[in-house]
Structure 1
Amino acid sequence: MSDLLPRHRAVMPSWMSLYYDEPIEIVRGKGNRVVDAEGRAYLDFFAGILTNMIGYDVPEVREAVDRQLASGIVHTSTLYLMRGQVELAEKIARLSGIENAKVFFTNSGTEANEAALLLATYARGTDQVLAMRQSYHGRSFGAIAITSNRTWKNNSLSPLNVHFLHGADRHLAQFRGLSDADYIAVCVDDLRHLLATAVSRDVAALIAEPIQGVGGFTMAPDGLFRAYKEVLDEEGILFISDEVQTGWGRTGSAFFGIQNHDMTPDMMTFAKGLGNGFAVGGVVARGDLMDAPHAIGLSTFGGNPIAMAAANATLDYVLEHDLQSRAAVTGAILLDGLREAKTRLPIVGEVRGKGLMFALELVDPATGAPAPALAGRFMEETKKRGLLAGKGGLYGSTLRMAPPLTLTDDEAREGLGIIRAALETVNEEVGK
């Protein structure tokens, strides 16, 4: 690291946080492992925040990008036809299940969510939007407005009139102990009450993450969003599924996270893993919604030729290697092993997740309260043992992990061993 950390602090904003007491610089990667500037290797269980979806130095992706670079065309803009953009849009439209779907490409998930909000508010002629408690949808002005996590909200100013719903907060006393069916019934009743009391006439949309990313991989029980959509459909309110973290088979049980709820949204936003590290995001929506705005629009860099080459190769790789099924298998190895470990580790309050998107909630064994300090200790222990993990959640006490979908069974067991050892070390320290 040498002098890089003080140089970083001198020129980068203080709110741009770094992991670890001694932050690392990642300089090389191959498969599902990376190497830092000091030569230490790590099994990557966070994948650049779920972005290096099929690992590092993937020949199919590298060769596709090299071919595009060799053509001399790095950029043209959406003012010209782009074959790669059309081909990728065709694939996404087909996979989405949305009727007469059309696709608009952006550079990030934040930008994708902004575009979806524009489409929804234009179509419905209102600034009223519903979102979920504990949600995170990006760092921009509109995205912060629909984010329900105080740690990530800089101000209360908003271009939207937003109301937040229950659905991923079963830890609260009024919901604790309810069955899935009873919790869904309570949440739907609350939605109906909100529509009757808190809003004025038309509402544009509900935007929801099938599994909340920054929220700590908390999630609604399967079926809740279908039940919500039945209520929303009564008033023509649109449903936007934020698939920035849950898309492309990561949950193992569905290709898009919302499909676990047995429903098709009006729009989906996507980003992160699709480019396997190259910047790409977008919205896939019903054609009538996508075509509705009357003003001219474009995206200078969204859907650029390099990003499209990488994204097409990445999506083809996911489909050809059936990585959704692989996520189900390796995810089961990890989740089953962690649930077994929880029975003998009092610091683990909850194990949750689907496929290769799973989390541990660390708590004070004496009180059951969230324990962010223990999460920090876990991060240091896994780093020392050669594994990269993520941290977050509403209280900063959640360890969230999402390895590349190419994770092998042996790598899953290796990672599980490191996680268990780190938890045992932290648990022992608490008991002293």
Structure 2
Amino acid sequence: MTDDLLGRHRAVLPDWLALYYEEPIEITHGEGRHVWDAEGNRYLDFFGGILTTMTAHALPEVTKAVSEQAGRIIHSSTLYLNRPMVELAERVAQLSGIPDARVFFTTSGTEANDTALLLATAYRRSNTILAMRNSYHGRSFSSVGITGNRGWSPTSLSPLQTLYVHGGVRTRGPYASLSDDAFIAACVDDLVDLLGHTRPPAALIAEPIQGVGGFTSPPDGLYAAFREVLHERGILWIADEVQTGWGRTGEHFWGWQAHGQNGPPDIMTFAKGIGNGMSIGGVVARSEIMNCLDSNSISTFGGTQITMAAGLANLNYLLEHDLQGNARRVGGLLIERLRAAAAPVPAVREVRGRGLMIGIEITRPGTDEADPRAAAAVLEAARESGLLIGKGGGHNTSSLRVAPPLSLNVAEAEEGAAILENALRSIQ
């Protein structure tokens, strides 16, 4: 970096603002599923800015919508009628599956989860929250307080009383050896027992697939079983769809639908991919919950015209081009290819996920002990060969995260899988 951008970064930004790679890269532009760095190197992007560039880099339909809106007006706040915000809210409410839904837009997933917690605690008049072990819900004071992943929880102080529930990780913990049905039954029994020892909670918040946790998930139906227990007691269910929404899992438009036998969640949060890189988050809830606040509130930057224009254009594109179906088809091929590539590598404990949301867990061979050094080495080797992936997980961050834009084609999936195969072999 000719102007020592890394040195300037370290001089003015927090030490905890992590950068990938021993020699961090500056991404300057992108197109489709590829990006380029400041040195002119081209990469196949299998992480999409942490799942935010969900559709494609420089998608013409989105860039055109942003440009045209910027030429009219960029921002006015929620104090004035906003046509793009109303139009996107109508679409999201209809797609959510929540009856009589109301939508509130924010600027991020963190802020969306923060709002959901405000609504749930106000509606239920309780500050007790149930959350999942190994979960991640954002970086604000309240969302850190319900994050069940030690690596992303810098303080134990919180305005909430949080109780952590079993079930978010299928292959670890005391119930890992059980069948799926027995696993669900054991987690439900644990939840019922927990509720017998505490004052009534406001809500359970859960990611259908844990994102930062390494793309772990319970068996399908767990949250439906939880929902039955919660509903009997008036406890709300908040589905955190920040990473799973908009068709990424392939099989469903929303992650909660894999657990939807007892109906949709009471509250749902979203963010990440809906803006294809623009800063959009939001909350959907039944009107009685959304309207329970008895004081004024606004959002200065939530739902601003330019981000709503991007969201509308992106949503139209992904629906018209059936990117959910593409995630199912291409993601299915990719995960099977990665499982075959990982089979002879002793350090790979598990390849998991669905659609274009795939996790590869790295451990010390023959053990369940995390190996973050080996995971970092795979990350480096992939970058050197022209592939960008992410990492995450509990147990010292030893899971690789693979989440390409949903327009990924078969040839690109095969190219990325081949690079990952070589990167995994390099750590043997």
TM-superposed deviation, 1:249: 0.1
TM-superposed deviation, 1:174: 2.1
Q: Which amino acid aligns with 2:212?
A: V
Matched, 1:61 2:59: no
Mapped partners of 2:136, 2:348: distance in 1:
24
* Aligned partner of residue 123 in structure 2, secondary structure: helix
Mapped partners of 1:237, 1:414: distance in 2:
46
* Aligned partner of residue 129 in structure 1, secondary structure: strand
- What pairs up with 1:130-169 in 2 under 5 angstroms? 130-169=130-169
TM-superposed deviation, 1:343: 2.2
* Aligned partner of residue 360 in structure 1, secondary structure: strand
Offset from partner CA, 1:321-370 (integer Å, 9 cap, x none):
11000000111111111112232111111000010000100111143421
2:411 corresponding residue in structure 1 = 410
2:358 corresponding residue in structure 1 = 358
TM-superposed deviation, 1:424: 1.3
1:14 corresponding residue in structure 2 = 15
* Aligned partner of residue 138 in structure 1, secondary structure: coil
Matched, 1:264 2:264: yes
Mapped partners of 1:255, 1:392: distance in 2:
23
Mapped partners of 1:158, 1:176: distance in 2:
30
* Aligned partner of residue 423 in structure 1, secondary structure: helix
Matched, 1:322 2:317: no
Mapped partners of 2:134, 2:178: distance in 1:
19
Offset from partner CA, 1:127-178 (integer Å, 9 cap, x none):
1110000000000000001101111111111111110101123333522221
Q: Is the 8 A contact 2:170 2:219 kept in 1?
A: no
Mapped partners of 1:357, 1:231: distance in 2:
29
Mapped partners of 1:103, 1:222: distance in 2:
27
1:223 corresponding residue in structure 2 = 221
Mapped partners of 2:168, 2:114: distance in 1:
23
Q: Is the 8 A contact 2:77 2:300 kept in 1?
A: yes
* Aligned partner of residue 268 in structure 1, secondary structure: strand
Q: Is the 8 A contact 2:6 2:24 kept in 1?
A: yes
Mapped partners of 1:240, 1:275: distance in 2:
22
Mapped partners of 1:320, 1:267: distance in 2:
27
Could you tell me the percent identity over the aligned residues? 56
TM-superposed deviation, 1:101: 0.3
Matched, 1:189 2:225: no
| Alpha-carbon spacing, 1:350–1:316, altered in 2? closer, same or farther (3 Å) | same
1:397 corresponding residue in structure 2 = 398
Q: Which amino acid aligns with 2:424?
A: L
Q: Which amino acid aligns with 1:297?
A: S
Q: Which amino acid aligns with 1:123?
A: Y
Mapped partners of 1:341, 1:383: distance in 2:
18
1:384 corresponding residue in structure 2 = 384
TM-superposed deviation, 1:93: 0.4
Mapped partners of 2:161, 2:173: distance in 1:
28
Offset from partner CA, 1:65-120 (integer Å, 9 cap, x none):
1111111x111111111110000000000000000001000000000001001110
- What pairs up with 1:233-252 in 2 under 5 angstroms? 233-252=231-250
Q: Is the 8 A contact 2:145 2:159 kept in 1?
A: yes
* Aligned partner of residue 43 in structure 1, secondary structure: strand
* Aligned partner of residue 412 in structure 1, secondary structure: helix
2:109 corresponding residue in structure 1 = 109
Mapped partners of 2:55, 2:173: distance in 1:
40
TM-superposed deviation, 1:260: 1.0
Mapped partners of 2:140, 2:328: distance in 1:
33
2:42 corresponding residue in structure 1 = 41
Matched, 1:419 2:417: no
Runs of 4+ deviating beyond 4 Å = none
TM-superposed deviation, 1:378: 0.2
Matched, 1:206 2:239: no
* Aligned partner of residue 400 in structure 1, secondary structure: strand
* Aligned partner of residue 122 in structure 2, secondary structure: helix
Which one is further off, 133-142 or 358-367? Answer: 358-367
Q: Is the 8 A contact 2:256 2:264 kept in 1?
A: yes
Mapped partners of 1:49, 1:80: distance in 2:
32
TM-superposed deviation, 1:227: 0.1
Mapped partners of 1:379, 1:232: distance in 2:
40
* Aligned partner of residue 308 in structure 2, secondary structure: helix
**TM-score normalized by the length of structure 2:** 0.98
* Aligned partner of residue 196 in structure 2, secondary structure: helix
Q: Is the 8 A contact 2:342 2:421 kept in 1?
A: no
Q: Which amino acid aligns with 2:25?
A: I
Gaps of 5+ in 2: none
Q: Which amino acid aligns with 1:211?
A: I
Which one is further off, 259-268 or 114-123? Answer: 259-268
Q: Is the 8 A contact 2:170 2:216 kept in 1?
A: no
Offset from partner CA, 1:241-280 (integer Å, 9 cap, x none):
0000000000001001011112410010001101111101
Q: Is the 8 A contact 2:176 2:183 kept in 1?
A: no
* Aligned partner of residue 426 in structure 1, secondary structure: coil
Gaps of 5+ in 1: 428-432
Q: Which amino acid aligns with 1:60?
A: E
